[in-house]
Chains A and B, each alone.
Chain A
């Protein structure tokens, strides 16, 4: 079984994003970039399926500027067999990404596509669901467990109030939640080996997808600042202030 794992290069999750002075966007110059944490989990799951003998080939794909090849090399070092880079300098929306990925799904015909549930930059939580829709596949979002048996994938989903398990007919699309697995680190020999693994580059505009923006970014602002608080001495003072000053209890 072939598994496709779309991944994204994003700001490192430990970095606090800063808004540009002209409020046009978030400032990403000289900011540490990394693989989106949910995508790491997606790669890990695909590799585990391969180690279990369920998957035969793991393909990592990313869409973005040249620099995102760095994240593809990371995926290869973690165990992906080959990588596809859809190159574009445009800032794409989830729908565009899903449409481009649908072309790759058509080309590679993977039985399973595993994506992260959301990227930590745009926080959209859309691409997996859109890709499932565009490719006419069932979707198992926010997966905390993935179990493949006889042409079906059972996905345990993290939903408000508990867990829900659904059975999807393969081929299907799964998006990862945090507790699906604990991603591994790439070892140095594997990082070296990854440099020799195949990485195919495709120009985004050669795929025949309309990439006209559907959403205009009007402005980006800092969130409202909270006014500075006070440090209280003890519980008695805390309770008193909550009653008399804040009036919340």
Chain B
């Protein structure tokens, strides 16, 4: 019984989800190897090797893996699968993309977005936008899992584990990379930030999101948004927090002008402390908020920035 974790990265930096996923994988109780596939991943593979609990790092460095196309990565993981009883990836857009492909090729079910490991076969996961938590037991011999990273802690460091080169190159004819358009941001990543401040439809337009900048700067916070704000075109969609966007669990989540629809709550209700600023005292967000302020956000935001 051995576990393979597939590292998540963007070809420059390792995603913090990788460390948290390794934390989840160690709870299975077996040795954990980590596969890092991409182009020029040597610097990142060293970081992976130093994550506490990692047994061996498998390095697949090739231009065919540069954009982590599901078809190529799935075939690569499939080729390594015979040695492992558990295959684990982060439930990021990358992991969600290739893992079900791996599972189907292995003819096993996948258990998505686990938030807790009960034992090596049994896991907890949210269903119905987080309104229920299912305990599920895998009956397959091989388990394919994705991990909701926000439910697990970061791993510490260790003396670097050994690494091994994986030479096999899988190059599918089915798909090809065309282009990528990255959203530029100097702020911490939403899913990794200790503090998140999010705006909703109440922000009224995209320009008003700048009212959050000063506060975010003072708190070292990432800026998020509700689906309503994204759909209204105020901000790009990768800022969306919710069932269909990013799942965050920071120490402090500040919801500004967000009503608190089920969809949004699914993405942030595991935050340690939730603050809601909304002028509607009946907004559902106040039911989950630790601290609520019923006020017009346009009055309050400058005041809050001053007070910090």
- The chain A residues found within 8 Å of chain B, CB to CB, are 11, 13-14, 16-19, 26, 93-95, 98, 117-118, 120-134, 136-142, 144, 154, 157-169, 172, 177-179, 213-223, 226-227, 229-232, 234-236, 238-239, 241-242, 246, 248-249
Contacts and interface: CB of A to CB of B under 8 A. Distances in A.
Given A163-B181, A223-B132, A216 B137 contact: yes
A165 B102 CA distance: 22
A214 B135 contact: no
Contacts of B290: 226-227, 229-230, 246
B180 interface: yes
A121 B105 contact: no
A159 B133 contact: no
Contacts of B69: 166
Nearest to A120: B129
Contacts of B262: 13-14, 16
Interface string B161-190: 000000000001111111111110000000
B294 interface: yes
A147 to B, nearest CB: 10
B289 A169 contact: no
A162 B140 contact: no
Contacts, number: 258
Interface in B225-261: 227, 230-231, 236-238, 243-244, 246, 251-252
A138 B71 contact: yes
B174 A160 contact: no
Contacts of A220: 127, 132-135
B62 interface: no
B94 A159 contact: yes
Contacts of B65: none
Interface stretch (B26-34, B44-52, B201-209, B266-274): B266-274
A132 B97 CA distance: 11
Nearest to A27: B132
B132 A229 contact: no
B108 interface: yes
Looking at chain B's contact residues, the main secondary structure is mixed
A213 B137 CA distance: 11
Interface of B: 10, 15, 67, 69-71, 74, 92-94, 96-105, 107-113, 122, 126-140, 172-183, 191, 195, 219, 227, 230-231, 236-238, 243-244, 246, 251-252, 262-263, 269, 272-275, 281, 286, 288-295, 300, 303-304, 307-308
Among B67, B219, B275, the one with the most A-chain Cβ atoms within 10 Å of its Cβ is B275
Contact of A130 (B104, B238, B243): B104
B293 A234 contact: yes
A239 B275 CA distance: 10
B292 A218 contact: no
Contact of B300 (A123, A165, A235, A248): A235
A230 B291 contact: yes
Looking at chain A's contact residues, the main secondary structure is mixed
Contacts of B135: 217-221
Given A165-B179, A218-B136, A248 B101 contact: no
A164 B128 contact: no
Contact of B304 (A120, A127, A218, A238): A238
Contact of A95 (B103, B230, B236, B243): B103
Contacts of A166: 67, 69, 175-178
A131 B97 CA distance: 12
A240 B41 CA distance: 45
A83 B227 CA distance: 32
B70 A19 contact: no
A118 B110 CA distance: 14
Contact of A133 (B93, B104, B126): B104
Given A178-B244, A214-B108, 6 more contacts: A139-B70, A166-B67, A214-B109, A214-B138, A214-B139, A221-B135
B122 to A, nearest CB: 7
A24 B286 CA distance: 30
A208 to B, nearest CB: 15
Contact of A121 (B128, B177, B180, B289): B128
B175 A169 contact: yes
14 contacts: A11-B128, A19-B131, A94-B110, A98-B104, A122-B127, A124-B110, A166-B176, A167-B175, A220-B135, A221-B132, A229-B292, A232-B291, A236-B307, A248-B251
